[in-house]
Amino acid sequence: MPAARSTGSPPTLRAGLAEQPIRNRVAPTADKESRMSSSPRIDPPNAFKSLIDKATGNAVRTAVVHPVERLSLSGAMEAREAGLIEPVLVGPQDKIQAAADEAGLDISGVEVLSVPHSHDAAAKAAKLAGEGEVGALMKGAIHTNELMQAVIDRSAGLRTERRMSHAFVMETPAYPKPLLMTDGAINIAPDLKTKRDIIQNVIDLAHAIGIAEPLVAILSATEEVDPNIPSTVDAAALCKMGDRRQITGGVLDGPMAFDLAVSAESVATKRFVSPVGGQADVLMVPTLEAGNMIAKQLDYLAGAAAAGLVLGARVPVILTSRSDSAAERVGSCALACLYGKWMEQNR
């Protein structure tokens, strides 16, 4: 049965914050290695090239929070070289310098604000953003919970009327265009009101990267509205919210299973009538677990690269995973540039 569909707007914060789990990598056997080597991968230098090209020249002053290990510092410095950010390194100066020495980086021309601990670094960076001293925040070697607690602290002044949420922009050879996915990092089991904010946030991000009317697939296990599966009922309600212009700027359809969102073949086989089916720009997942699993599956099985951003605060928050590559961190900085510029123009 075809689902309800449509095209929205936003209330408050209170993130059910959850740290993304570390990727568990098992050393491959020779047989596994040969199978893995044939998996499609995006060449890291080319990942997010279009986003980076659009964002270059709009460098945003960015507080990099506790960049005390090689990869997080390298990502910030590569984004600086690409003309995407002007980093302000916030953390213990001796550890930041040690990370720079390990990575062979010259940080002599970069501002460093020395504070003793990661908690102090998060609080200082959030304060800088709230006072307008920086236009974005970037996670370094710090737990997501610790950073986000500083961001949502009322004294920082970074809250808006919307709940904060996270979105990935994923590029994979298995799909012909960028695929946005939300929320696999912050809101654990969002209620209907929170889902409305999550969708509006990601529609805004889609506009910021140049998608004029994003096609939003609201995912569940089925395309039928089933009272025994609450996410299907929420999906139908969210589509009706789009009809009533409580969510604006995109075309919504759901509930639908993952295959119907991204596969034109599945749409034809199941005779599914939908303006979104088979060509979604955005995947809205029902829970954090679902989003996290989809992102990891696309990463490991479909050769995807993922850039990530926290939306709904007064500044973009670049929320990278500890296992992200430097290329993914640079892509996330490009997202922050474009989203920050969009926010300035649409306040």
Q: How far apart are CA 182 and CA 168, in angstroms?
A: 6
- Residue 159 clears pLDDT 80, i.e. is over it: yes
Question: What pLDDT does 347 receive?
Answer: 79
In this prediction the pTM is: 0.86
What average pLDDT does range 187-210 have in this prediction?
A: 98
Query: How confident is residue 79, by pLDDT bands cut at 50, 70 and 90?
Result: very high
**∠ Cα 215 4 220 (to 5°):** 75
What is the residue whose two structure tokens read 């509930």? 255
48 neighbors 333 (Cβ within 8 angstroms): no
Q: How far apart are CA 3 and CA 97, in angstroms?
A: 55
What topology is assigned to 4-11+42-346 in CATH? Isopropylmalate Dehydrogenase (3.40.718)
Q: Would you give the distance in Å from CA 59 to the centre of its chain?
A: 19
Q: What is the pLDDT of residues 240-259, one digit of tens each?
A: 999 999 999 999 999 999 99
Check the CA dihedral 131-10-332-50 and report its sign. negative
Residue extents of the structural domains in the chain = 4-11+42-346
207 neighbors 54 (Cβ within 8 angstroms): no
- Residue 308 clears pLDDT 80, i.e. is over it: yes
89 neighbors 97 (Cβ within 8 angstroms): no
Length of the chain: 347
Q: What is the pLDDT of residues 100-121, one digit of tens each?
A: 999 999 999 999 999 999 999 9
- Residue 174 clears pLDDT 60, i.e. is over it: yes
Widest distance between CA atoms in the chain: 62
What average pLDDT does range 300-314 have in this prediction?
A: 93
What average pLDDT does range 279-304 have in this prediction?
A: 95
Tell me the two tokens of residue 49.
């090239």
Query: How confident is residue 157, by pLDDT bands cut at 50, 70 and 90?
Result: very high
More confident of the two residues 260 and 22? 260
Buried b (16+ CB within 10 A) or exposed e, 34-69: eeeeeeebbeeeebbeebbebbeebbbbbbbbbbbb
- Residue 209 clears pLDDT 70, i.e. is over it: yes
More confident of the two residues 22 and 339? 339
Q: How far apart are CA 203 and CA 245, in angstroms?
A: 13
Which of 244, 241, 264 is closest to 254 using CA atoms? 241
184 neighbors 166 (Cβ within 8 angstroms): yes
Q: What is the pLDDT of residues 17-64, one digit of tens each?
A: 444 443 443 444 444 444 444 444 444 447 899 999 999 888 999 999
What is the residue whose two structure tokens read 């568990």? 24
Query: How confident is residue 328, by pLDDT bands cut at 50, 70 and 90?
Result: confident
What average pLDDT does range 3-25 have in this prediction?
A: 43
Q: How far apart are CA 231 and CA 238, in angstroms?
A: 10
Neighbours of 221 (CB within 10 A): 15
